Structure 1
Amino acid sequence: MSDFLINAGRQTLMLELQEASRLPDRLGDDFVRAANTIMQSEGKVIVSGIGKSGHIGKKIAATLASTGTPAFFVHPAEALHGDLGMIESRDVMLFISYSGAAKELDLIIPRLQEKSVALLAMTGKIRSPLALAATATLDISVEREACPMHLAPTSSTVNTLMMGDALAMAVMQARGFNEEDFARSHPAGALGARLLNKVHHLMRTGDAIPQVKLTTSVMDAMLELSRTGLGLVVVCDDSSRVQGVFTDGDLRRWLVGGGTLAAKVAEAMTQGGVTLNAESRAVEAKEVLMKRKIAAAPVVDDNGLLCGAINLQDFYQAGIL
């Protein structure tokens, strides 16, 4: 039985791959026209389809939306019961139907024509009513489905998915959509965390900033170091400009060297040190800390004034790994 199952699965994959391998040669004037229609539209792309075509259509709409083309899915039945009102003349409809003869089209196509809505077709029948009414037709036809009964949509749904991806990726690249644009559509994801977060989004502020003055004693700086647990204390002048940092290592070296707790922290601190700008990208700031092999740093604004503090754990908690 195991050999039978493996062979059946392998045959399905081979048939679907064989059908999909024909798609690249079908891209021509209609594909270019479909892509240009979407790019020139000032509205949205409304994707529609029934059954398996509808399931794939939802994915295509989601892919378009996440790659710079406003899009959503509308079920044909819902469209005929009110949702056509969501479609405007500046929009584009991408209708998916392998037969190109879904009965809902008899009512939908005239309404789209009345509103001057551009219609794009994705179908396996390039002489169907859908294809003939469309501005551009994308051919997803197959010689045979992978289903042994030639009934269940299999090879054709793979072709539909791939053609939708080809269209979305072509439009995305033509528009110059980049990683940062993608991140804005996925702010909760790892890419969003890496590209959208700036240091000021993650840094500690207010009382959470460990800071002392140049004239503060080593003893008080040590207490401030313990209070916040950041791993350093920022030492500032009276204008809130960073003059140095005082760390656990500085404290140990000071005491081992015979320094007293009553001395000024200015004598025991590390002068200067690394500072991060509040407006810099968090991922770049983290790389600075990693490269310098330090765990924390003060954060300054564009005027060089202390406005926060941050350590590596703050980056990790934000999903910047």
Structure 2
Amino acid sequence: MSFDAANINAGQALSLARKTFEIEAGAVLDLASRIGDEFVQAVGLMFACPGRVVVMGMGKSGHIGRKIAATLASTGTPAMFVHPAEASHGDLGMIQAVDVVLAISNSGESEELVAILPVLIRLGVALIAMTGGAQSTLAKQAHVTLDTSVAREACPLNLAPTSSTTAQLAMGDALSVALLDARGFREEDFARSHPGGALGRKLLTHVSDVMRSGNAVPQVMPETSFTELMREMSAKGLGASAVVDGKQCVLGIFTDGDLRRLVEKGVDLRSLTAADVMHARPHTVRINSLAVEAVALMEQYQINSVLVVDEAGALCGALNTNDLMRAKVI
């Protein structure tokens, strides 16, 4: 893709970008000096809400509202977004008296939002306003008002919602963080609501979810000949083989690295058995461990494969770095 650089004043573009950052950062910092009891009351209403936090907003405030609702929901506070215009045409039925409504409007006079305020009030929901209009219709009807007013928009024309939407977003994040803390929300809770993400995989994926099991696990008895040991390793493709006794208890392991070192030493391998070449008492990981624990073990001892055992030390499975990479644990 190409463009005519002559049409772009590089200095002006960079200057406006830096000015935008400066104005919006200032708008967010100003919020810190203004929050107080109203913020605490808003957090309290949302924390005690037996239903859901229903976020509403029109235009750019609506886009911010969708993000706030998503952040609340993913951090332990049940929430959803309802479009004010759609609410007038049936979606108000989604809101119950046990809910809390977080209504967002920079002016506080958004026509579609103001139109449904009487219905919300009759319904008896707790109403939190997030607005820059302290004397607006929305602010006057709300139980709690969060002041997100800004000195000016970052837009050079002072028209496009820029600083104001940044302030709304920051206030929404502040509410989410305060609620997260109040609920004692932990990494494990976050992972459960983000099972497809990197953190979810790390905190929810167990060794048993990614290990090879059954016939896919290379294993031999200690008296197995070296030739048969190599056949087992080649057939299973793990790069290692467990050496087990008659009760499946792990006695040792033999790896591709061990083979290379023996060859380099010029050892005559033909007459050897698995017991002769194995590493006794190898590092293992429990089957109920998290996959990240297997990763940590392999990194600590610089090994590429690890055997999986139960509480009695019996072989249950095996895995290597490729298995963990496929599962996107590493």
TM-score (norm 2): 0.90
RMSD: 1.9
The answer as to whether partners of 1:222 and 1:251 remain within 8 angstroms in 2 is: no
1:131 maps to which of 125, 133, 139 = 139
Distance in structure 1 (CA, Å) of the matches to 2:113 and 2:329: 48
1:217 maps to which of 220, 225, 242 = 225
The answer as to whether partners of 1:67 and 1:168 remain within 8 angstroms in 2 is: yes
Distance in structure 1 (CA, Å) of the matches to 2:193 and 2:43: 21
The answer as to whether partners of 2:96 and 2:123 remain within 8 angstroms in 1 is: yes
Distance in structure 1 (CA, Å) of the matches to 2:19 and 2:93: 45
Aligned to 1:292: 301
Change (3 A) 1:22 1:106: closer
Distance in structure 2 (CA, Å) of the matches to 1:259 and 1:153: 76
* 1:47 and 2:49 correspond: no
DSSP-derived class of the 2:111 partner: coil
1:301 maps to which of 306, 310, 324 = 310
The answer as to whether partners of 2:84 and 2:112 remain within 8 angstroms in 1 is: yes
Aligned to 2:5: none
Change (3 A) 1:37 1:309: same
The answer as to whether partners of 2:57 and 2:113 remain within 8 angstroms in 1 is: no
Could you give the per-residue CA deviations for residues 107-159 of structure 1, whole angstroms, max 9, x where no partner exists?
42232233322111101112222122222111011222222333222221111
List runs of 5+ in structure 2 lacking aligned partners: 1-8
Distance in structure 1 (CA, Å) of the matches to 2:274 and 2:23: 75
Distance in structure 2 (CA, Å) of the matches to 1:218 and 1:90: 71
1:257 maps to which of 252, 260, 267 = 267
2:86 maps to which of 78, 86, 100 = 78
Deviation for aligned residue 1:213:
2.1
Change (3 A) 1:13 1:294: closer
Deviation for aligned residue 1:249:
4.1
Change (3 A) 1:254 1:140: closer
Distance in structure 1 (CA, Å) of the matches to 2:195 and 2:139: 38
The answer as to whether partners of 2:226 and 2:269 remain within 8 angstroms in 1 is: no
Distance in structure 2 (CA, Å) of the matches to 1:31 and 1:189: 31
Aligned to 1:272: 281
Could you tell me which amino acid in structure 1 is paired with residue 75 of structure 2? T
Aligned to 1:318: 327
Deviation for aligned residue 1:79:
1.3
Deviation for aligned residue 1:225:
0.7
Which deviates the most, 100-109 or 79-88?
Answer: 100-109
How many percent of aligned residue pairs carry the same amino acid?
Answer: 51
2:151 maps to which of 143, 147, 164 = 143
Distance in structure 1 (CA, Å) of the matches to 2:269 and 2:160: 82
DSSP-derived class of the 1:276 partner: strand
* 1:17 and 2:25 correspond: yes
1:175 maps to which of 179, 183, 187 = 183
Change (3 A) 1:248 1:71: same
Aligned to 1:235: 243
The answer as to whether partners of 1:234 and 1:246 remain within 8 angstroms in 2 is: yes
Aligned to 1:188: 196
Which deviates the most, 29-38 or 250-259?
Answer: 250-259
What does residue range 193-212 of structure 1 map to in structure 2 within 5 Å? 193-212=201-220
The answer as to whether partners of 2:58 and 2:112 remain within 8 angstroms in 1 is: no
Could you tell me which amino acid in structure 1 is paired with residue 72 of structure 2? L
Aligned to 2:70: 62
Aligned to 2:164: 156
Could you give the per-residue CA deviations for residues 265-309 of structure 1, whole angstroms, max 9, x where no partner exists?
223322121111111111121111111121101101233221110
Distance in structure 2 (CA, Å) of the matches to 1:135 and 1:302: 57
Could you give the per-residue CA deviations for residues 51-77 of structure 1, whole angstroms, max 9, x where no partner exists?
111011111111111212121211101
Change (3 A) 1:294 1:133: same
Matched pairs, number = 320
Aligned to 1:94: 102
Could you tell me which amino acid in structure 2 is paired with residue 61 of structure 1? A
DSSP-derived class of the 1:177 partner: coil
